[in-house]
Chain A
Amino acid sequence: MILHYRAAFQWQSHAVLGRHLTVYRRNWHTAALPPLLEPVILLLAFGVGLGGFIPEFAWRGQPVSYLAYLAPGMLAYTAFMTAFFQALFAAYIRMHYQKTWEGQLITQVRLEHVVWGEMLWAATLGTTYALIVTLVLAGFSLSGWLDLHWFSALLVLPLLFLAALAFATLGLLFTAIVPSIDHMNIPFFLVIMPLGFASSTYFPMEGDSLWAAVWLTLNPLHHLAEGIRHLMLVGEMNYHLAAAFGLFLLMILILAPVDELLLRRRVLGEG
């Protein structure tokens, strides 16, 4: 059965989203620690610490500090990993162990609403975490550690939301097909780690060979990281942002109905 995209705008999906927000708000003091501390630690450890050993670092032929190179990549990586993890592990636990989904499906909420509620929640959390990283970057900039247009990151928040939504569809795909929680290492190491690291987030990648060029062209995270980097370091929009937008939209259009189809089979035994 084809997922009705309109379910994304129906009240039931927003009720599911509201449920996740309520739970998160209750635990905000512990839940907010990772997005706040992780970028600080990474910026200090890799940007300042490791970056200190890389005095001559160039991006597109221009000399930049490794810290400045790393910062935009972290922003893209945060939206990606947060949404993916939420749609994979957290959604799986709610579906399989906590039986939260079944508790929702005996009401006026239908499966397409549960799926969209999970995706919207993962996207909301991914964007929120990216916003927190932006605030950390602002702190580093204002204290003179970093020289970048940190406020321009605010302009790409809608794109980061779309990115997180797309990566949530990827996470839910694995939620629908992994036999058990023990098998989640497989998508993580075979799909997510390569997608996440070979993407110009933590180090520059060049499309020297045909394979590398194809990989970088198709990897939406590469376009997102490079697009945000261009915006924050140069202060200009470039084609990477448009490419990222297109690829994320494509992911959502293709994967969202597939997710629903597979989850319908898994949860309801139908299809």
Chain B
Amino acid sequence: MLPDSLIASDEPVLQATGLVKQFAGRRVVDEVGLRCQAGQVLGLLGANGAGKTTTLRMCYGFLQPDAGTIRIAGIDRRIDPEAAARRVGVCTQDDTFDADFTVRDNLLQMSRYYRPRPAEIKARIAALLERFGLDRYAHAKPDTLSGGYRRRLMIARALIHEPQLLFLDEPTTGLDPQARLEVWELIDALRRDGLGIVLTTHYMDEAERLSDELLVLREGRVVASGQSRAVLGDLVGEHMLVLDAHDPAAPAVRAWVRQAGLPEPARVLSDLHIALDGPGLAQFSSQFGDLRFEVRPPTLDDLFLKLAEKS
């Protein structure tokens, strides 16, 4: 899908440094940096209000950063915003397709907002309709489609001009499990095509499954970045110990945690979740050997709980 010269380039398709954005005197994004290579998915995580969408909006040009630089495939967005925008495709969180047009004409109309105009547009539209399973809805109005197909249309619109970098802002929010899975497969295929993808999501399984790299934001700042396992280890711990909060030994466990200087256990429904490293787990086992507990690897759910607790 992408020209070979672009795929072969070592230049990251997105390189953003020191991004700052203020609204009404409040810093919602504070010195954030992002880097995404062709054929890579960068996941942007954070609780509501962490600054994910604002960061994304600055990168794709909807908002101007107060400070920082954004380079799209080597092009400085501030110096040549039009050339940078030509290389970017965007799937917004809300449905922003044009409700006055059919599915097919949405793709055609979208192509008119780009120069140079996408080549062989009719063939391009036909290929996208087929690839996204939209061909049988080509003459339908988007409002009549199911949520999953609307998302497909949104992603197809974002690809009409063959961008090098795709931004997906919570692409599967509100979809049923089957539709989510189908969108995941599409995203995975686009990555294999060599497209650089930056996505935000609230779904932990989605971030873990799709992202090559994760970047975690809290209150506008980057609190962790790297491969998902490493990010979880940094923020949550190597192991997650789960025990019944109503166990008679629970107060003793809490006291032990405090004494060991560990983070306060998280209460999730009727369970206590305790993040531990290797030596910590060994100590716990020797202290509470008779207790019934479960040990599992940390997940992004644990990360979100941790972030929510901190904020």
Contact = CB atoms under 8 A, between A and B. Distances in A.
Interface of A: 11-12, 15, 18-19, 22-23, 98-100, 102-110, 268-270
A48 B95 CA distance: 50
> Which 6 A-B pairs give the minimum distances between C-beta atoms?
A107-B113, A103-B96, A106-B90, A108-B85, A102-B96, A23-B100
A15 B112 contact: yes
A22 B276 CA distance: 62
B94 A99 contact: yes
Interface in B239-260: none
A108 B98 contact: no
Contacts of B94: 99, 102
Nearest to B108: A22
A106 B60 contact: yes
Helix, strand, loop or mixed for chain A's interface? Answer: helix
Interface string B77-112: 000011001100010101111111100000001101
B113 A109 contact: yes
11 contacts: A98-B98, A102-B92, A105-B62, A106-B60, A106-B92, A106-B96, A107-B85, A110-B81, A268-B63, A270-B63, A270-B64
A23 B60 CA distance: 27
A128 to B, nearest CB: 18
Contacts of A270: 63-64
Contact of B115 (A11, A22, A23, A100): A11
Interface in B97-150: 97-101, 109-110, 112-115
Contact of A106 (B62, B64, B81, B95): B62
A113 to B, nearest CB: 9
A19 B112 contact: yes
Given A108-B85, A268-B62, A269-B23, A103 B98 contact: yes
Interface of B: 23, 60-64, 81-82, 85-86, 90, 92, 94-101, 109-110, 112-115, 157-158
Given A98-B99, A268-B62, A107 B114 contact: yes
Nearest to A113: B113
Nearest to A104: B113
B281 to A, nearest CB: 47
A105 B63 CA distance: 10
B139 to A, nearest CB: 13
Nearest to A18: B112
A87 B86 CA distance: 29
Nearest to A100: B98
Contacts of A11: 115
A203 B263 CA distance: 80
Contacts of A105: 62
Contacts of B63: 268-270
Nearest to B169: A106
A98 B101 CA distance: 12
Contacts of B110: 103, 107
Nearest to A99: B96
A12 B82 CA distance: 10
Nearest to B81: A110
Q: Which of B86, B95, B99, B100: most chain A Cβ within 10 A?
A: B100
Nearest to A268: B63
Given A98-B98, A102-B62, A107-B85, 17 more contacts: A11-B115, A98-B99, A99-B96, A100-B96, A100-B98, A100-B99, A102-B94, A103-B92, A106-B61, A106-B90, A106-B96, A107-B114, A108-B85, A109-B113, A268-B63, A269-B23, A270-B63
